[in-house]
Chain A
Amino acid sequence: MTKSKKSYRDIFSKIGSLLALLILCVILTIATPSFFTINNCMNILRQTAINGLISAGMLVALITGGIDLSVGANAVLCGCVMGALVNRHHVTNSFVLIFAALAVGILVGLVNGLLLTKLHLPHPFVSTMGMRLVLTGLALLVVNSETVSGFPNGVTWLGSASIFSGNGFSGFPVAFILVILLFIVFHFLLEESALGRKIFCVGGNPEAARLSGINSDNVLISVYAISGFMCAIAGIVLVGRTGVANPASAMDSYDNDAIAACIIGGASFMGGKGTISGTMIGALLLAVIRNGLTLLQISSDVQYIVIGIVIIGAVCIDVYRGRAEEKARRKATVQA
């Protein structure tokens, strides 16, 4: 009796967010005929791509018990650096541009990691928040506060291209294929690699990890470098999607969306928890809500409110889940 009850709860906590996503889709399908069309679905995937990429990086930071608030600014900076290279230095080779963006993203991540570990900061909240402002300033600086365009096709392809299009089908977005591929890599990184295991260990109990001979500093630096790498990819996709690099968008709420996707997907601010598949569901859920509300012609003010409530709800679920697990653990200890 108790056993089956427990496993029900277990399953629910695992697929809860997936269930929420499905129910939401059913409701929107009934509410508006324009929702469940193949082209709208492709649209949602296109809208999920950027947040999905950033969320994957955010997830590893959250698993270590940290956070990366510089993600959005980092992504936009990577785009602006490419823009500056195109417009000021007339670089037209796509490989060089993409390489430059990746280098900037990873470098920013390394700085975040070094600030956290070498200064012995208790938590990366303030340091990455500071970096967010620094990066925003840099993004404005490199392009003289102007929105720049004129990127070569090799750069924009990633964010704008679709495959199998034709006959009224808008095509499957290449950006989302990239998301799927990178998420598979992340899955193996987190579940099957030694670094992944160390990331969970450092997040679950840094002191025990250290006393077991794990070099937590190196693990943390890698984590923020990974986050920076994902930001760079997101920055390239963003340039492709919009065709421009707009430094003013560096202050947009990319970090909020990414954190929300991770938390909805089962990650915890306390660290030590989170899956990449859950994060994917979280990112999709957010995109579906935005898309659905737009289709229902609900104005953006209400959209903000709804998304805000969803995020608060997800955090409440996180806290509740933590308490329930703690209780179950205590019970198990007493029984044994």
Chain B
Amino acid sequence: MSDYFVELKNITKRFPGVTALKNMSLQIKPGEIRGLIGENGAGKSTLIKILTGVYKADEGEIYANSEKMEFKSPSDAKMAGIACVYQELNIVKLLSITDNIFMGSTVNKKRTALLDYAYMDKKSRELMHLLGHDVNPQKACGTFGMGIQQMVEIARALVLNAKLIIMDEPTSSLGEKEIQQLFSTIRKLKKQGVAILFVSHKLEELFELCDTVTVMRDGEHVFTDDIKNITSDRLIKSMVGHQLNDQFPKVKTECTTEALHAEHLKEFGVLNDISFTAYHGEILGFAGLVGAGRTETFRAIFGADRLDGGEIVVNGKKAKIRSPKDAIKYRIAFLTEDRSTQGLIQKSTVRTNLILASMKKFQKGPWLDNSLITKTANDNVKSLSIKTAGLDIPVGGLSGGNKQKVVIGKWINTDADIYVFDEPTRGIDVGAKVEVYNIMNQLVQEGKCVIMISSELPEILGMSDRVIVMRSGRIMAEINSGDEHFNQEDIMRAAWGGTLQ
């Protein structure tokens, strides 16, 4: 009988093209508050999904209460006492607190098919009281704030007698007061012997709350140590690692005139006084953690979301951009981070997707000029080396890298001047990555302006001429490629809220 409530031994999980977890091991004791941190893509989410039975590990073993487990589905993990409170809450807002807490585990009146609401309401009230909230459990969940909704999720875990509660960035949507309430709840749970796995992007929270911290990098375990032995510098250094990468075919180009200038951009609750300038002939990197407001900044500039204030200047002229259509008129291209839901129409053909943003160019009156479309599409396929069985197959059938090239082709056909690449190489294999970098190089060599949002620091350092670091909707730092701070650690420090000397 070991001391641990849950134990992962040498877990490996592979996806097509990537190994998300390599030989990962983890042990958590009852009543332990364990922090889990790592860069974006370090494998935290995969680890959580293995623990909660969403994914099945390719190799390795899971033990709970010293018993070997095989989670075939999330309900198996629940039965074993492992529950997870996700970043996006799974709450039915129109149902009462009781309904939400007992969802999937309702209690009937003895020997009847009727629900025993008297018992469930009482139990819900007790649980919510235990978590520090005296609320009427019969009221609809949606009438309460995010903090209480989160407690409802935790209560749901407790009703199932969870012994380990995983919290995936639980504080990201909470206010300061609610965070403190959450922490005191977690401490109460700890006293009752419940273990917590606390995933966070905020270092100060780890230091405030956790007993121990595990750091992950590239799907591997870096170290686990007592919080007393850890400094924030050590955390950042170990998250970043020291691997050097020469997969970045950076070329030297000349940075010329101002292309895009943003002045005091504001979007309530999302963006806070964002000002920056991007030039022709440079690649401007945007670094930061997921949710730092990088994508939101450019969605707003592109007219996809409404700004609450601020000014956009394109090529020295004030631009009025109310919709993506306007942005395209100003020759801005936005390659969205999620290609399948925002960049492409999966059911439509490669040909159609390539002309999606520039249909006017291919029109003769109301009709489409098919010979011109075919010629352009063939040119795109050749110059971007898109691997496809033909122009008339649905784009959904292509691989990730080729889909991305179709998206690039779509924007090149609009004759854009400013290209915003949001996570341009996410989910595509190494070979295709280099091809995408080469396309970016070509664009800046032609004197265009390229802005690259990326969560992969090696990519940011390898390709950018200049980097802007964001955190919580603000710009934290701006670093030139020649600068002494142009390294992973300093960028990470800025992204985690530290200051650069």
Contacts and interface: CB of A to CB of B under 8 A. Distances in A.
B222 interface: no
Contact of B16 (A198, A328, A334): A334
A272 B394 CA distance: 12
A142 B63 CA distance: 76
Nearest to B328: A213
Interface in B301-349: 302, 304, 323-325, 327-328, 334, 336, 341-348
Contacts of A201: 345, 348, 352, 356
B344 to A, nearest CB: 6
A214 B342 CA distance: 13
A302 interface: no
Contacts of B344: 205, 208
Contacts of A192: 367-368, 370
B324 A211 contact: yes
B343 A214 contact: no
A195 B365 CA distance: 11
B324 A205 contact: no
Contact of B345 (A188, A195, A204, A334): A204
B352 A200 contact: yes
Given A197-B368, A207-B341, A329 B397 contact: yes
B271 to A, nearest CB: 19
A209 B323 CA distance: 12
Contacts of A211: 302, 304, 324, 334, 336, 342-343
Contacts of A272: 345, 347-348
Contact of B343 (A200, A208, A273, A336): A208
A193 interface: yes
Interface string B405-443: 000001000100000000000000000000000000000
B399 interface: yes
Interface in A308-336: 328-329, 332-334, 336
Interface in A261-311: 272-273
A214 B359 contact: yes
A329 B357 CA distance: 24
A212 interface: yes
A205 B346 contact: yes
B19 interface: no
A9 interface: no
Contacts of A205: 341, 344-346
B366 interface: yes
B391 to A, nearest CB: 14
Max count, chain B CB within 10 A of own CB: residue among A209, A212, A273: A212
Given A205-B346, A213-B324, A336 B352 contact: no
A32 interface: no
A336 B399 contact: yes
Interface in B356-396: 356-357, 359-360, 362-363, 366-368, 370, 387, 394, 396
A204 B341 CA distance: 10
Contacts of B343: 208, 211
B342 A333 contact: no
B352 A197 contact: yes
A193 B344 CA distance: 20
A212 B324 contact: yes
A123 interface: no
Interface in A206-241: 207-215
A11 interface: no
B367 A210 contact: no
B398 interface: yes
A225 to B, nearest CB: 15
B356 A212 contact: yes
A333 B400 CA distance: 8
Contacts of B367: 188, 192-194
28 contacts: A188-B367, A192-B370, A193-B367, A194-B359, A194-B362, A194-B367, A194-B368, A195-B366, A201-B348, A204-B346, A205-B344, A207-B341, A208-B344, A208-B345, A209-B356, A210-B304, A211-B304, A211-B324, A211-B343, A213-B328, A214-B359, A329-B394, A329-B396, A333-B16, A333-B399, A333-B400, A336-B387, A336-B397
Interface of B: 16, 302, 304, 323-325, 327-328, 334, 336, 341-348, 352, 355-357, 359-360, 362-363, 366-368, 370, 387, 394, 396-400, 402, 410, 414
10 nearest A-B residue pairs (beta carbon): A336-B399, A204-B345, A212-B357, A213-B328, A332-B397, A213-B325, A212-B356, A205-B345, A272-B347, A204-B347
